[in-house]
Structure 1
Amino acid sequence: MNIETIKLQNGWKQFDLRNDNGMIISLLNYGGIITRIIAPDRDGNAENVVLGFKNVQDYKTDPNFFGALIGRVAGRIQGAAFELDGTVYELEANDGVNHLHGGSHGFHKVIWETESFQEEDSIGVRLSHSSKDGEGGYPGNIELSVTYRLTNANELILEYEATTDKTTPLTLTNHSYFNLSGNLKDTIHQHQVRIDSHQFLELDEHLIPAGTILEAEQTPFDFRRGRILDDGISSGNEQNTIAGAGYDHYFLFDHSHTETVVVKEMTSGRVLAIETDQPGMVMYTANNLQSGMELAEALSKKHLGVCFETQSSPASLHHERFPNVILHPDETYKQRTVFRFTTE
């Protein structure tokens, strides 16, 4: 196992983590962005399984959050405002009238402090950042650390930890777009996905949760027995149509299985299993991905990747019963998500 550090322009650094199986994770200190994940197919061919730019400088102006660390609050906050302990906090409206992914200067734009490490069975990079009270409109000084760890079991482990000195909303995630076909040879229509979830949040026409928890059974949102993503992309179901022909919905996990999500791509034989202690995730099938951007292996187009944004729900700021995003000064935010790559 080894780590290579490459100095880029503007104080950016790239870290290449390589395990003993030839799996490679490349990430930047800018935005904590994962730029590539090289993983073998069933025949041992190592290919990239995430979307990333050909030119690294394109991440500066990326509207898609490719591979980025998201915060302070992942997802959309209705009306770009929330009330906490009697005080209304106004945020940047960077998604119509709503606030998305921490705003245009969120954690995806930060140059993080970094420390690489090598342990007996893993290598990785620990990223840290201090977010000041009032930054982005949010209350509280936040101390953050996020660890990216690659093991010889072909696992990418993300560990998040944060504290605050004022009560504040916080939920972090990674926004990688996965495509297990390898080197973007195909779209994600035929990816088979299993999700340990029987409920999801209804969206309104602005992609904001309407306050209703819907049952997935007998809809294209029931992934408990596995189904291809094209079932929803092509379904004509009202909720899939609202999302732009696909999924951009928060799934509430049942946590009845160790593996919360399992994704298979039958041509390559690649399998991605996700374990997490988060209460749910947004699955986003790149419905709004614009065409023609120069990615590492191909030009971008709709439905070229799928995101599994494990997190709590920012809709809990406006609706009860949803997974809470509030962090108090006497608490430590601690979350873990594992992406495990195998073949069959």
Structure 2
Amino acid sequence: MRTALYFTTLAAALALPAAAHATDASRAPFGTLKDGTPVEAITLTNSHHMRVRVISYGATLQAVEVPDRKGRIADVALGYSSIGDYLDHPNYFGVSVGRFANRIRLGRFSIDGNSYQLATNNTVNALHGGVQGFDKRLWKVVEVASGPTAHVTLSYVSPDGEEGYPGTLTVTATYSLDETNNLTVEYKATTDKPTIVNLTNHALWNLAGEGSGKSVDSQVLTIPADSYNPVDAGWIPTGEFRSVAGTPFDFRKPMAIGARLRDSRDPQIAVGRGYDHNYVVARTVSPNQHLLSRLVDPASGRVLTITSNQPGVQVYTGNFLDGTVSGKGHTLYRQGDGIALEPQIFPDTPNRPEFGSARLDPGQTYRNVMTFSFSVAR
């Protein structure tokens, strides 16, 4: 266990140079793409020793460092320490996914009688925007600012027809850090012709620390959802809104993630190889943020509360991490070493009218805003 490298004491954090503002933003190189194009890293910090790093490749949340109840700092976001690993071993760690996060059945949908075939990259289905989704694009750094709230805004223009999607889509991602340890991520998009959009961040969290060697099974999850969307063998929703009552999917009261997982006989757990399902917190996108989930690590005391304006949260328990992927500090990530809690509209919504609409028209602005609030339970 690499304890000496993994923990940074509060005393060491206090020795860092004082920021000119309460929250500070700085830029630095983060290597180059294989064609030599530079990638940037933007670091946001506040006076409570929280530090967030975003890289321009994939508009990716590369690191989130927060203190525990004893003031020890750990990085709680799975990821890589070099651009080479992001290029050679793509795993969606902290990336911005789009145009459509999650799955679309057979990669097909229709708008106004026009049928579209998307790139398929998850057996016969489309996943997270396709073979070269937004997670594998270099975003432009538009603005970096310190102040009461430090932030970085990145942009990407997806041309008409990219990965099969109609319309030129102009997207921005803004990461903001304030003095109360709130990290807010806001995605916006506009289009020049009718299309579909579902953007989110695919951070995988481990509140014990991404290099701790501990799984998330003992971390306690709460989700205020009465139902979830069961899936078929291809992880495509069946269209049902199934009650969580009496099932391993019931997190309406705080429950350890692994308490009903590893020995569960629920067929939905089997098909997903764990949790890989959308929880229905609301039925439509709302103008304001509401609670989607709360995650607590009893051992460290770290707490992560997630709010968003989105109706669903995809819960994914790192089911396909198999101990062959080496993250930061050369730690091997295993099944269950991280959990994704992704604010979104529901998977396969373009083919499921009962799920609502994923449509975006010219003159409209798509918006997904999510806040990751970090605190400590004493």
Shorter-normalised TM-score: what interval?
Answer: over 0.9
| Equivalent of 1:137 in 154, 157, 164 | 164
Q: Does 1:26 align with 2:48?
A: no
1:217 corresponds to: 245
The answer on whether the counterparts of 1:103 and 1:136 sit within 8 Å (CA) in structure 2 is yes
CA distance in 1, matches of 2:358, 2:335: 30
Structure 1 residues 206-215 or 249-258, which shifts more? Answer: 249-258
1:243 corresponds to: 272
1:104 corresponds to: 131
Query: Can you list the C-alpha shifts for 1:92-132, whole angstroms capped at 9, x where unaligned?
Result: 11110011100121100111111343354210110111111
2:254 corresponds to: 226
Q: Any idea what SS the aligned residue of 1:203 has?
A: coil
The answer on whether the counterparts of 1:23 and 1:39 sit within 8 Å (CA) in structure 2 is yes
Query: Can you list the C-alpha shifts for 1:30-66, whole angstroms capped at 9, x where unaligned?
Result: 0011111000000000100011123331101333211
Q: Any idea what SS the aligned residue of 2:109 has?
A: strand
1:5 corresponds to: 27
The answer on whether the counterparts of 1:128 and 1:146 sit within 8 Å (CA) in structure 2 is yes
The answer on whether the counterparts of 2:66 and 2:75 sit within 8 Å (CA) in structure 1 is yes
Q: Does 1:286 align with 2:318?
A: yes
The answer on whether the counterparts of 2:24 and 2:147 sit within 8 Å (CA) in structure 1 is no
Sequence identity percentage: 33
Q: Any idea what SS the aligned residue of 1:35 has?
A: strand
Q: Any idea what SS the aligned residue of 1:210 has?
A: coil
Tell me, which stretches of 5 or more residues in structure 2 are unaligned? 1-22
Structure 1 residues 318-327 or 270-279, which shifts more? Answer: 318-327
2:297 corresponds to: 265
CA distance in 2, matches of 1:76, 1:315: 6
Tell me, which stretches of 5 or more residues in structure 1 are unaligned? none
1:155 corresponds to: 182
Query: Can you list the C-alpha shifts for 1:239-289, whole angstroms capped at 9, x where unaligned?
Result: 111101x21001111499943211000000000001100011111001111
CA distance in 1, matches of 2:224, 2:289: 7
User: What is the TM-score with the length of structure 1 in the denominator?
Assistant: 0.96
CA distance in 1, matches of 2:359, 2:72: 44
Q: Any idea what SS the aligned residue of 1:259 has?
A: strand
Matches within 5 A, 1:1-344: 1-7=23-29, 8-9=31-32, 10-118=37-145, 120-185=147-212, 186-234=214-262, 235-244=264-273, 246-254=274-282, 258-297=290-329, 298-344=331-377
User: What is the TM-score with the length of structure 2 in the denominator?
Assistant: 0.87
The answer on whether the counterparts of 1:80 and 1:90 sit within 8 Å (CA) in structure 2 is yes
CA distance in 2, matches of 1:302, 1:323: 33
Query: Can you list the C-alpha shifts for 1:277-334, whole angstroms capped at 9, x where unaligned?
Result: 0011111001111312221141111111000111112422222211421111131112
The answer on whether the counterparts of 2:292 and 2:343 sit within 8 Å (CA) in structure 1 is no
Structure 1 residues 253-262 or 94-103, which shifts more? Answer: 253-262
The answer on whether the counterparts of 1:54 and 1:294 sit within 8 Å (CA) in structure 2 is no
Letter in structure 2 aligned against 1:37: V
Structure 1 residues 107-116 or 257-266, which shifts more? Answer: 257-266
CA distance in 1, matches of 2:318, 2:113: 37
Letter in structure 1 aligned against 2:26: E
CA distance in 2, matches of 1:232, 1:96: 28
Query: Can you list the C-alpha shifts for 1:19-38, whole angstroms capped at 9, x where unaligned?
Result: 11111101110001111100
Q: Any idea what SS the aligned residue of 1:223 has?
A: coil
CA distance in 1, matches of 2:207, 2:265: 25
The answer on whether the counterparts of 2:195 and 2:361 sit within 8 Å (CA) in structure 1 is yes
Query: Can you list the C-alpha shifts for 1:164-201, whole angstroms capped at 9, x where unaligned?
Result: 11111101000010000124321010110000111110
The answer on whether the counterparts of 1:314 and 1:325 sit within 8 Å (CA) in structure 2 is no
